[in-house]
Structure 1
Amino acid sequence: MKKLMITVLLLTSVILLISASSLSKHLIILFFIGNLSSFVGTLAGGGGLITLPAMMLIGIPIQTSIATNKFSSGIAAVSSVFYLIHHKQLSIKTIIPHLFVAFLGGIGGALVTAQLSENTMNMFAIILLSIALVVTFKNKGWVERAQCGYHESTKNRWAPFILFSIAAYDGGFGPGSSTFGILYYMNKQLTYLKAVQLTRVLIFGSCVGAFIIFYQTGFLQWSYAIAMACGSIIGSQIGLLVLPKVPLKIAKSLLITIMCFLITQMVYKII
């Protein structure tokens, strides 16, 4: 069943790309960018480390790149959420609160992006990622705690604010937001598997909220967005299939590696 689902998604994406191939040579490139970034982003975050630089490298403006990334990430995330609900790995009751807060955060982040420079957003991300990197390195019980069974953590009155902030950052910019989400949920005593699953919900909500704002600005190019979304759906589904088989030590190493790359890239852009 899983192999059949992947095959159908792949064939559908290829058909869409062939029918649109006359529009731009960039479409095939964007399809594979979306595929790779969504796969990496599902497992450890940092998909924006691939998508935004790659889109700008082929000549797509930064505003259009962010808008396209929000659309494709949102489509990939909703496919993940449906997958998780269908396989009873997450319940609607669990999803709705996270989705609502993330939706509001995505709207807020997209609105703020219109007022802030890219350098300011990069500096903000560097500070947060550096803190997350230090916490991850120092937390020697990361793997042992992650092996515990899933349970709802104790209520935290700051939780909605933290989730809103992560979603706002994702809605306004993006690189590293999934990593922040995974680390946040891990810190709430959830397993790595459940942390990734809930992060997909968070990204879906923030992308929907941000997409509404970016659509109104006119920055979205539908041909680019659809091509990348097709690749992102496949990358996300493959990531979810691989996820249960990823050893926890490798997962931690992957998170640390992604954070280091993100920090390096953003420091380079500021300099």
Structure 2
Amino acid sequence: MLDSIWLYPLLFAASVIAGWIDSIAGGGGLITIPVLLGVGLPPQMVLGTNKFQASFGSFTAAFYYVRKGVAPLRQARLGIVCTFVGSALGTWAVQQIDPSALNIIIPFLLLGIAVYMLFTPSIGETEQRPRLSQAFFFALFGIGLGFYDGFFGPGVGSFWAIAFVGLLGFDLLKATGYTKVMNFTSNVVSFALFLAGGHVLVTAGLVMAVGQIVGARVGSGMVIAKGVKLIKPIFVVIVILTTLKLLYNRFA
């Protein structure tokens, strides 16, 4: 339990905003992780509780995108399996190894994505010819980004989206839909392993889960209605904010 019952409305509000952001461009952890740290949870408990509540938001968004035909699951079955495996390995590894060294590398990769998006105005507006087969893509990125999400996490939605656009030729709407499917897979695996390790505050997670569902449903509906024109600017802003947050963590 938290020290005060009045902290729960704060967690709910934060999770609504995070769910909305996550369903559009990823990056909801920029809000939920600092808030969970701020209410006094230890770092491992923060990671576990964050994965718990994020699972509900990513499921809500993924379900909506699948139901609307944006992200048919039959194309992503291999990706789901590989992401499941990668996330399990990453979540196990983060409980054995300090991931702080990634604070040095990841910001510069994210900055590269932001620059690429800003200076390639037409990217993601229409579908293009794929550069990799889907089987190879999902095997490689499912294991790799699944592991990264379980081990560290910040910016994983951005990495998925740019990979879908750049290597499979998806437009940003389709890329966003499939990103949420992969996010849900890695979130729920990580949550299960953190729960098994006793690193989830269920009461806080349930309150935030409700907020995530609300925010994700609103955000995914806006994406379907407005498409790339909504996704791209929010995506770039979130990537830049994630980069700045990681640099602050590293050098502050």
TM-score by length of 2: 0.88
- Per the alignment, residue 215 of structure 1 pairs with 195
| Structure 2 match to 1:205 | 185
Deviation per residue, 1:186-208 (Å, 9 max, x gap): 21211111111101100011012
Change in Cα spacing, 1:267 to 1:167, as seen in structure 2 (3 Å) is same
1:185 aligns with 2:164: yes
Contact 1:52/1:66 (<8 A) preserved: yes
Q: Is the 8 A contact 1:39 1:239 kept in 2?
A: yes
Instruction: Give the distance between the partners of 2:228 and 2:187, measured in 1 at CA.
Output: 28
Q: Secondary structure at the match of 2:199?
A: coil
Per the alignment, residue 143 of structure 2 pairs with 164
Report the Cα offset of residue 114 of structure 1: 1.6
What percent of counterpart residues are identical? Answer: 23
Partner of 2:125: 147
- Using the TM superposition, give the Cα deviation of residue 126 of structure 1 relative to its aligned residue in structure 2, in angstroms: 1.6
**Contact 1:99–1:204 under 8 Å retained in 2:** no
2:84 corresponds to which residue?
103
Separation in 1, partners of 2:160, 2:90: 15
Per the alignment, residue 111 of structure 2 pairs with 130
Report the CA distance between 1:214 and its aligned residue: 0.7
After superposition, the Cα gap between the structure-2 partners of 1:260 and 1:80, relative to the gap in structure 1 and judged at 3 Å, is closer
8 Å CA contact 1:106–1:167 kept in 2: the answer is yes
**Equivalent residue of 1:139, what SS?**
coil
Query: Contact 1:52–1:62 at 8 Å: present in 2 too?
Result: no
Instruction: Give me the CA root mean square deviation.
Output: 2.5
Count of aligned pairs between the two proteins: 249
Q: Distance in 2 between matches of 1:264 and 1:90?
A: 31
The amino acid across from 1:128 in the alignment is: L
Q: 1:38 Cα deviation (Å)?
A: 1.2
Q: Pick which of 42-51 and 169-178 moved more.
A: 169-178
The yes-or-no answer on 1:248 pairing with 2:235 is no
Pair 1:89–1:257, CA change in 2 (3 A): closer
> Equivalents in 2 of 1:91, 1:204: separation in Å?
15
Partner of 2:244: helix, strand, or coil? helix
Shift of 1:124: 3.5
Please, what TM-score do these two structures have when normalized by structure 1?
Answer: 0.82
> Kindly tell me: are residues 160 and 135 of structure 1, through their superposed partners in 2, closer, same or farther at Cα, counting changes over 3 Å?
farther
Report the Cα distance in structure 1 between the residues aligned to 2:250 and 2:90, rounded to whole angstroms: 20
Does 2:158 correspond to 1:175? no
| 1:106 to 1:243, Cα distance in 2 relative to 1, 3 A | same
